[in-house]
Chains A and B, each alone.
Chain A
């Protein structure tokens, strides 16, 4: 039986991942911003087989609350086998380019808050001497593009942070996995039409994360072809790249 803490438990990817563990009778400590939503996710996981766990309601951009949340999770679950960091925001890019405060909030919500949570969580897992940390990043962090570079820069920062954390914990029995989803059909992307061939689902992402954990992957691109797409995009010379609208 796994004991799992999820930050951003009401996100589509977190829900899909949690459902798989629920069927294996995991126990959860679920954290989300909206109590009613967290309760509905908790009830769903219980029907799917989860053991009775606990929940907390928190605004994760409030950095002061993070230490208490991790402590509470440890008290509720005893020990922590898996920490999933899946919260985040996707603000309108055009608005971010015109409003520095909004841009900074976007970076705080997708990087600073994660850096804070990961620091607390890593210390608990390091002291335990075991555990896994899964962090949801994005392919948007692989190259800055005009359509989403504010969000992308936060995810890029997060990528390096997680890479270093993995390095630090490698000899301490703790594994760290960075997940880089491509375009996934979730509420975050609700405004985009989804008839293109590259769209994938949270269920697919969840399955890829499970496979990545099992393999011991450092970075999981999901679906897999995004590794190659991003490699190509990174390789484009600037002279060409700046004339493209991707």
Chain B
């Protein structure tokens, strides 16, 4: 008999669902958990560290396979950087491993990392995540050598670019729907060191963003821009462009480049009024002015550069009990400049200022997964406090602009796009649905595939 519980949330904390959850500690437990869920007549979905923002990691009224305890390494070869681990190992676990290896060994690092290290390998694969290095190293899935997938019929299937290729492609970015990823082999990348040479450049408008991105493409592995999204007119798109690259030097008086645990924690929900348009507006203006016009080159630990928000556990509680949305879209490169301008104008006009608005160029490294999100172009991500209808209306308006440019939205961040919007952005969805495990589903998938997918197993 299933017991439903309300403590599994996604990062945006808008969707409050109940789940029958099970956290298998070993692979044999995972098999028996699946058998139990099938017997209860429930659909199931793997759940990692819950860093997806909307409902793609949730399965309302159904079952979750919590993979947190499948967190063992299997093998690591320090001469080639090949790492095999179970799917619940987090990127933080991998970083803790590689940064503490003996110093005479080559230095290995994640080839691709999102803006938080508290995601599981399984989640990184299922969302084919990208990060500040997309223009140079592509998506996470690009570096997956193989993976082992447990299907609900109890059969474990090895998938790779050579073996069961179609299922492999469907699983990279496949939103956890093709089965439970048990383990994966990853190709880590060799870096000069764990400190980064960084520059923060304050820039004045959208053209400057594109110029800086172009100029930084070859020499800087990590680039991203924070945008002051209240700025309008000729200031539209102004912000701070950050770029970084690994370097062999370390400062004279240096601590560890890495903190495996957050330093601070947000212990409770902030009151809903904390992040209002005035406080956020003031923060944005302050932040832009804080950066001097003349940039300075700095040497900083990778943790501070790549994961600034990881320093505060549960920072999502700052948005209060109602939670927040993240809106992330990509605009194809042929029309990127115009598309981003329209989006930013619309946001500024709405007055619904975003605490964190980020622009980033996607490169042309092909995305390996069938449903991978990135396209060559520009991606814009906005954190929007949940103010109900006003927020939904703004996002709906932004959808219209994304549609017109032929862009699309990132399922890992989404909790509200229409089914039509998803199916237009990802016409491959039909092909993907052929590989979806018949016993797997998610709230997201049911929402965007309605009416029910009749051709599911066809």
Contacts and interface: CB of A to CB of B under 8 A. Distances in A.
Interface stretch (B2-10, B127-135, B156-164, B400-408): B2-10
Given A47-B74, A47-B97, A12 B69 contact: yes
Nearest to B102: A49
Interface in B1-30: 3, 5-7, 22-29
A193 B5 CA distance: 6
Contacts of B429: none
Contact of B73 (A34, A37, A48, A194): A48
A37 B26 contact: yes
Nearest to B183: A40
Given A36-B28, A193-B7, A44 B73 contact: yes
Please classify how large the interface on chain A is, using the bins under 10, 10 to 19, 20 to 34, 35 or more: 10 to 19
A194 B7 CA distance: 7
Nearest to A42: B72
Contacts of B25: 10, 12, 186-187
Interface in B150-181: none
A170 interface: no
B100 interface: yes
Nearest to A37: B26
Contacts of B74: 40, 43-44, 47
A220 interface: no
B288 interface: no
A34 B97 CA distance: 27
B76 interface: yes
A191 B73 CA distance: 26
Interface string A163-187: 0000000000000000000000011
Interface in B56-101: 69, 72-76, 86, 97, 100
Interface string A183-219: 0001100110111000000000000000000000000
A23 B102 CA distance: 11
Given A191-B3, A194-B7, A41 B29 contact: no
Interface string A23-44: 1000000000010110011011
A214 B76 CA distance: 31
A41 B6 CA distance: 31
Nearest to A197: B267
A62 to B, nearest CB: 21
A176 B260 CA distance: 30
A48 B23 CA distance: 23
Given A10-B26, A43-B72, A43-B75, A48 B7 contact: no
A186 B97 CA distance: 23
Nearest to B25: A187
Contacts of A190: 22-23
B451 to A, nearest CB: 34
A186 to B, nearest CB: 8
Contacts of A195: 6-7
Interface string B185-199: 000000000000000
Contact of A187 (B5, B23, B97): B23
Nearest to B23: A190
A193 B64 CA distance: 13
Contacts of A194: 7
Contacts of B26: 10, 34, 36-37, 40
A37 B28 contact: yes
A55 to B, nearest CB: 14
B28 A187 contact: no
A238 B76 CA distance: 57
B28 A41 contact: no
A24 to B, nearest CB: 11
8 contacts: A10-B25, A10-B26, A37-B28, A43-B75, A44-B74, A47-B75, A47-B76, A191-B3
Given A187-B23, A190-B23, 6 more contacts: A10-B25, A37-B26, A47-B73, A190-B22, A195-B6, A195-B7
